Structure 1
Amino acid sequence: MADNQSSEKKLSRRKFLVRGGLGTIGVLAVGTYVLRNPIRRAILEKANEMDLAYMGSTDNPMLWFELGKDNVVILHSPKIEMGQGTFTGLAQMAADELEISMSNIKVVHATTATGNIDGMSTGGSTSISGLWQPLRELAAIFREMMKIEAAKKLGVSVDDLSVKDGVVSANSKSLTYAEISEGVTNWTIPEKPILKDISSYKYVGKPVPRVDLDDKVYGAPMFGLDAEMPNMLYGAVVRPSKIGAKFISATTDKAEKMPGVIKIVSEDDFVGVVAESYIEAENAKQAIEVIWETPDNLQQDAIVSMMTVGNGKSTIIQKEGDALEGDDIVQMEFRSPIGAHAQIEPNGVVAFVEESKATIMISTQVIGITRKEVSSRLGWDAEQVNVIPTYLGGGFGRRLHTPHAVQAAVMSQAVGKPVKYIFSREEEFQHDMFRPPTHHILKGRLNEQGLLDGLEHHFVSGDVGNNSALVPNIVPPIVGADIGAIRGGFLQYSAVPNHRSVYWHVTLPFATSWWRSLGLLANTFAIESFVDEMALKAGKDAIEFRLAQVNDDEAGKRLKEVMRTAGERAGYSEEIKDGKAMGFAASVDAGTPCAHVVEVSVEDNKIRVHKVTVVLDPGLAVNPDQIRAQCEGCVIMGMSAVLFEQMKVVDGSLTPTIYGPYEMALMKHAPREIDVVLLQGKDTPGAVGEPPLGPIGAAIANAIRRLTGKRLQSMPLKLT
């Protein structure tokens, strides 16, 4: 299909739609230093609630859709498929507006060469919600383009045409999309797309099989570790084992003479080996003698001391009424540990740097940033680098950082051939971009009616968004808080007369960054555990206590409905029955409310989760089965994080560095039942991938409190 578009139609209206979403925050940012603290809080509250818009080009539908002679439409997705089912949801949305069957649409990753790049990357639970409007508009435009050309070829009016399954008909005549496109070199692009009524959609809102199911079942080479190029060599990079180590020098004589070694690549910031095989590159790497400058050996107790409320710089992110003072205040502390991503597929990349172009095949969530970093290192224009993203064997934020693409590109340039570089499992664990540890102090006071008169959340965290490629350096000074660390840190009980949330930032000596749900898991664990303790102190039902302290605005009504439904569906009770107790918790993330009820027992002094009831209000469910799967995945991942996972600092190194010692939930730990209920509190899709992770830790801790009388205040939750 020709890729020209009419020079008269620039589709500026859609450009405005996509980019205009930043207007509110942009205006607020200008005024920051006029009314600094109130404006900061307004920005942060807005950022905490909003669905992030798509930030890429919608000027040309030809960047998105490719039509084959077999009448199959190929959608070049700017969002990455990392197991969350995004490709299927996007296919449903596009197929309904294109008027084609699901069997006639194929979704592939858009390479940077296509120009279809999302500046918001893949993350933040916004792949479906962010593309809901622009993708349907582009599909509608594509459909209307076909009708305009069909009318010309069939000699009829556009109004006389009907479209079904990629076939345009008038009277007894019909043409497929592929037949319509033959010979067309100058397309007429309609100025305003006419979207179909959602009630007429055949696929959106219904469960359909995943479009990537067959490839995954049959083991198609689709992941980063599968990537290959002709005449490919293998690379390895020498990395330190100590936190804060700085490279001084390296002796490479022995490594240079080892079997299979092609070249030792010595740069100011790394030393790499290029060899004929993976094992030869790894063996030669071990033979390189490196001198590192290392600081004093850090220990875990130093990290715990560092990560304590009161250290670092504070920002009030939420404030109403007065600060709590007096002798009748209840105060509790909570902690969460360092967490690894521990995704099943370690990072990998294949890079081929030729004379004037570079090709990068990689598992990445940030194709635009990866391209920028590689082109910057090579000293080239960005257009000379083509990043070809692969499927991800787990992302969770780990693939937002891709310096290994730069290293592979440098090694490839040095040898003039493609170089494949794969992290070892030890490298993945030791050089992860970790979930930062946190510390929380909660304060509360009850009034005469047994409700909260005041509630405060003070919490400290390392970097999540700050110091990452995704957050421009100008943002932290303006907003005063890390927009990732504060996720879930706001108090949803805004009907409490006096409430505030205060964020403290501490810079850790090792790299921390985005981890699925960002600060939501730790913040919700602390807040919902404390609120539950206050309900017990007041002698009130856990759910009724919460409902009484949520506002009746639109967001509050959705949260209340989620809470009520969870309680009713699970048959929530404060009683202990057959050695089992129930725990409840709820949270709101990116505008999506979620509630969990868990049934827990203690067996051999270990926590056993039997059933989890999840109620989520994601708005319009594009694919309900997909969303249920996301909820189930969040429950299991959350259970693993709150019951087992933790990294520690021992003698200056992060440990453990392998599965097994790094404990994770196993099949035997999974609940016998995860019951998922979906509500629709708004008529557009909302965030899904991360919100269901929020309540699980607190829900388990709250059940254990009722069962044993013990309030567990540190993750991972242990009874001894």
Structure 2
Amino acid sequence: MADKEKDSKKVSRRKFLVKGGLGTIGVVAIGAYLFRSPIRRQILGVVNSLEAPYLDNIDQPMIWFEVTSDNNILLHSPKMEMGQGTFTGIAQMAAEELSVSMNQIRVVHAASSTGNVDSFATGGSTSISGLWKPLRELSAMLRVMLLKEAAFKMNVGVDQLAVVDGVISGNGKTLTYAQAAEGVENWEVPDVPVLKDAKDYKYIGKPIARVDLDAKVYGDPIFGMDAEMPDMLYGAVVRPSKIGSTFVSADTKAAESMPGVVKIVVEEDFVGVVAKSMIEAENSKDAINVTWDSYDNLNTDAIVKMMTVGNGKSSVIQQNGDSFDDQDEVVTLEFRSPIGAHAQIEPNGVVAYVDGDSATIKISTQVVGLTRKEVAKRLDLDVEKVNVIPTYLGGGFGRRLHTPHAVQAAIMSKAVGKPVKYFFSRKEEFQHDMFRPPTHHVIKGKLNTEGYLDGLEHQFVSGDVATDSALIPNALTNFLGADVGAIRGGFIQYTAIPNFKAECWHVALPFATSWWRSLGLLANTFAMESFIDEMALKANKNAVDFRLHQIADEPIDIRLKNVIKVAAEKANYSEEVKDGRAMGFAASIDANTPCAQVAEVSIVDNEIVVHKVTVAMDPGLAVNPDQIRAQCEGCVIMGMSAVLYEQMFVVDGELTPTIYGPYQMALMKNAPKEIDVVLLQGKDTPGAVGEPPLGPIGAAIANAVRRLTGERLTELPLKLSKKA
């Protein structure tokens, strides 16, 4: 009978969870120490290009996987599926090392009770790249564990066994994974085995169909709005319409006697209603008279004035060579971007049930660990007694990187002793978003005698993006010297220029701003790549050649050059206006992923029409090329919507619009007829995908408009003057 290896690691669930939880804390503490040092600027550059590793639960396969009785694998994903295709990518990686077929893998969101909790978030374009190594290792470890159990049961040496599609065979005998796992209670976790070579991949690198496709096509109840619990009631929360509001008092008498009302819940920071139906909860909420202390007269003009370079606190994030201020040859342009909403289809909501000393939360969230901690802290519960069950997200884009409404629903549930379902109205979702902050940019450049840049300076101002959020407290900004979200795209990528400088200014806004897909990348790249294009025109040089000449020769620079060349070649880039159409070019690097885009544009009835967008991107190894192309297409459409239509205003202290329609977004008729995506592989591991393609689109469109009309558009959303 084959002996099991005696030197295998035995990891208890408790020890494993403690080990996983310390990872992020250690990184932050070390970072805090380093950022006090004089090399902060260099470290900011590293942070800007960092490909974040996965820091939790990486050596205990049994909290990631279940082997089912029908010989399938249930994978409990700590990363959320919000339309980006993560479930499919991780299923491909797991199937590869587990030696099972794709139809044997089912991916579900990991409830916090499984112990498989991501202590950070699903965001930052890190789901596939962060799990690339640890998930394959976990899968390979599980495969070895199952082979050892099969060898024990079959009385065959492990080295005599082979596995195909979850069926183990050797010496004329066979066992399925399910049979090998049956009855085993104490698993021995081995060291990480050798992973498969790329030449042997069956699924990685292939355009596998999405594993969540059927559920979405058939309308299965998989989203947060579908969530239910037995005998549940419905909640609503009174929210102010004006920004900067603090609760003073509430008169609930009229609401208490309204039909269906079960209880009015008055807390120090909110007033909630629990009723028998959603409409009854909403009606009674409207009958509550709340007194708020608010900003009454604040308007957009005041916000624009506030968000101007020179206001707030500044930090130089990049510098090389000399300053070139106050010289006659210096060209200066200013750019602005507006307040932007997330405007995701599914509003935020939750179903919560507090039963004695435990709580169950069903929610669409990007932050399972944070949500669990906040509920536990507010209700004074043991964190282990709070089970957060994530659902699919009907759009995330950073909006669900903080979901404190779970706390409100839990408080209301505790007050009535039953589950409570509570969702934002569309108006509440718009008015109480965590907005993309407005920005202002002042960019200066000087050409040398050869017509290339001798100096370039980018100064930009932003509100909070990543810091002062639930994920990254404001104290960390003091160590970093800059908001790590706001600086995305703000660095100068043309580092062959002799003299350059980038400086970020931070202004505290009177309303909440935070993570928005691609963070500062969209606005920063729009400004920088529009300016670069203008300088190419001033130098009378081809926009592509002008860029290539000023890019250095480090590995990331070579990858940037390659995507620029491929995008130009694939689009047959030309600076000639032909048949009323022009092309615009732009490129950016985000999270170590270079991307270049060419937009083909015309003007119809004084409106900008985008006909075609060519995308060249180097995400490294493409786990699922179709998935990446879909991400590029989605980013192009979302970016187009942001740069051509979307903006929020402040009117008499209220954020508006509060409904689709008045909040303009790109419609199907506005989409380009063609989006052509070319993928390059400049490295052997997967890189960021979900946000980098948002960078170039705004400048690419604006640069095309410049060639069509002669007008340099410097404000988002892009609007032509009446002369066009």
Task: Using structure 1 for the length normalisation, give the TM-score.
Answer: 0.97
1:464 alignment counterpart: 465
**Preserved contact between residue 586 and residue 595 of structure 1 (Cα < 8 Å):** yes
2:450 alignment counterpart: 449
2:55 alignment counterpart: 55
1:648 alignment counterpart: 649
Aligned ranges 1:467-546 → 2 under 5 Å: 467-546=468-547
**Preserved contact between residue 28 and residue 43 of structure 1 (Cα < 8 Å):** no
The alignment partner of 1:398 has SS state of coil
The alignment partner of 1:399 has SS state of coil
Aligned equivalents of 1:197 and 1:44: distance in 2?
35
Aligned equivalents of 1:396 and 1:443: distance in 2?
32
Over 3 Å counting, the alpha-carbon distance change for 1:474 and 1:299 in structure 2 is closer
Aligned equivalents of 1:704 and 1:375: distance in 2?
53
Aligned equivalents of 1:96 and 1:556: distance in 2?
32
Determine whether 1:239 maps to 2:239.
yes
1:53, CA displacement in angstroms?
A: 1.1
Moved over 4 A (4+): 5-8, 11-28
1:673, CA displacement in angstroms?
A: 0.3
Aligned ranges 1:127-166 → 2 under 5 Å: 127-166=127-166
Aligned ranges 1:257-296 → 2 under 5 Å: 257-296=257-296
Over 3 Å counting, the alpha-carbon distance change for 1:16 and 1:114 in structure 2 is closer
Query: Structure 1 stretch 13-22 or stretch 559-568: which is displaced more?
Result: 13-22
Over 3 Å counting, the alpha-carbon distance change for 1:20 and 1:231 in structure 2 is closer
Aligned residue type for 2:567 = A
Determine whether 1:75 maps to 2:75.
yes
1:670, CA displacement in angstroms?
A: 0.4
Task: Count residues in correspondence.
Answer: 713
Aligned residue type for 1:525 = F
2:356 alignment counterpart: 355
**Preserved contact between residue 9 and residue 188 of structure 2 (Cα < 8 Å):** no
1:6, CA displacement in angstroms?
A: 9.4
2:3 alignment counterpart: none
2:121 alignment counterpart: 121
Over 3 Å counting, the alpha-carbon distance change for 1:19 and 1:622 in structure 2 is farther
Aligned equivalents of 2:406 and 2:83: distance in 1?
22
1:680 alignment counterpart: 681
1:17, CA displacement in angstroms?
A: 11
Aligned equivalents of 2:81 and 2:34: distance in 1?
38
Aligned residue type for 2:258 = M
Q: Which digits, 9 at most, give the CA deviation of each residue in 1:362-399, with x for residues without a partner?
A: 00000000001101100111111100000000000000
Q: Which digits, 9 at most, give the CA deviation of each residue in 1:337-358, with x for residues without a partner?
A: 0000000000110000011110
Aligned equivalents of 1:514 and 1:384: distance in 2?
29
1:26, CA displacement in angstroms?
A: 5.7
Aligned equivalents of 2:419 and 2:172: distance in 1?
55
Q: Which digits, 9 at most, give the CA deviation of each residue in 1:398-452, with x for residues without a partner?
A: 0011111000000000000000001000000000000000000000000011100
Determine whether 1:583 maps to 2:584.
yes
Aligned equivalents of 1:460 and 1:8: distance in 2?
51
Aligned residue type for 2:536 = A
Q: Could you tell me which runs of 5 or more consecutive residues in structure 1 were left unpaired when the two chains were aligned.
A: none
Aligned residue type for 1:95 = A
Over 3 Å counting, the alpha-carbon distance change for 1:560 and 1:341 in structure 2 is same
Aligned equivalents of 1:14 and 1:709: distance in 2?
60
Aligned ranges 1:258-657 → 2 under 5 Å: 258-325=258-325, 326-657=327-658
Aligned equivalents of 2:547 and 2:437: distance in 1?
29
1:34, CA displacement in angstroms?
A: 4.1
Aligned residue type for 1:292 = W
Over 3 Å counting, the alpha-carbon distance change for 1:430 and 1:505 in structure 2 is same
1:171 alignment counterpart: 171
Q: Could you tell me which runs of 5 or more consecutive residues in structure 2 were left unpaired when the two chains were aligned.
A: 1-5
The alignment partner of 2:400 has SS state of helix
Aligned equivalents of 1:432 and 1:156: distance in 2?
60
Aligned equivalents of 1:514 and 1:492: distance in 2?
23
Aligned residue type for 1:704 = V
2:708 alignment counterpart: 707
1:194, CA displacement in angstroms?
A: 1.9
Aligned residue type for 2:87 = F
Determine whether 1:254 maps to 2:254.
yes
Aligned equivalents of 2:364 and 2:109: distance in 1?
11
Over 3 Å counting, the alpha-carbon distance change for 1:13 and 1:307 in structure 2 is same
Aligned residue type for 1:91 = A
Aligned residue type for 1:260 = G
Aligned residue type for 1:231 = D
**Preserved contact between residue 235 and residue 281 of structure 1 (Cα < 8 Å):** yes
Aligned equivalents of 2:290 and 2:226: distance in 1?
31
Aligned equivalents of 1:541 and 1:698: distance in 2?
16
Aligned equivalents of 2:682 and 2:522: distance in 1?
23
Aligned residue type for 1:328 = E
The alignment partner of 1:400 has SS state of coil
**Preserved contact between residue 8 and residue 191 of structure 2 (Cα < 8 Å):** no
1:20, CA displacement in angstroms?
A: 7.7
The alignment partner of 2:43 has SS state of helix
1:473, CA displacement in angstroms?
A: 4.1
Q: Which digits, 9 at most, give the CA deviation of each residue in 1:659-714, with x for residues without a partner?
A: 00000000000000000000000000000000000000000000000010000000
Query: Structure 1 stretch 619-628 or stretch 192-201: which is displaced more?
Result: 192-201
Aligned residue type for 2:444 = K
1:541, CA displacement in angstroms?
A: 0.3
Sequence identity of aligned pairs in percent?
68
The alignment partner of 1:692 has SS state of helix
1:188, CA displacement in angstroms?
A: 2.4
Aligned equivalents of 2:550 and 2:20: distance in 1?
37
1:112, CA displacement in angstroms?
A: 0.6
The alignment partner of 1:191 has SS state of coil
1:296, CA displacement in angstroms?
A: 3.9
Determine whether 1:30 maps to 2:33.
yes
Aligned equivalents of 1:324 and 1:427: distance in 2?
48
**Preserved contact between residue 18 and residue 134 of structure 1 (Cα < 8 Å):** no
**Preserved contact between residue 15 and residue 57 of structure 1 (Cα < 8 Å):** no
Aligned residue type for 1:203 = Y
Q: Which digits, 9 at most, give the CA deviation of each residue in 1:313-351, with x for residues without a partner?
A: 000000101112211100000000000000000011000
**Preserved contact between residue 6 and residue 188 of structure 1 (Cα < 8 Å):** no
1:81, CA displacement in angstroms?
A: 0.1
Aligned equivalents of 2:245 and 2:40: distance in 1?
36
2:200 alignment counterpart: 200
1:181 alignment counterpart: 181
Aligned residue type for 1:655 = T
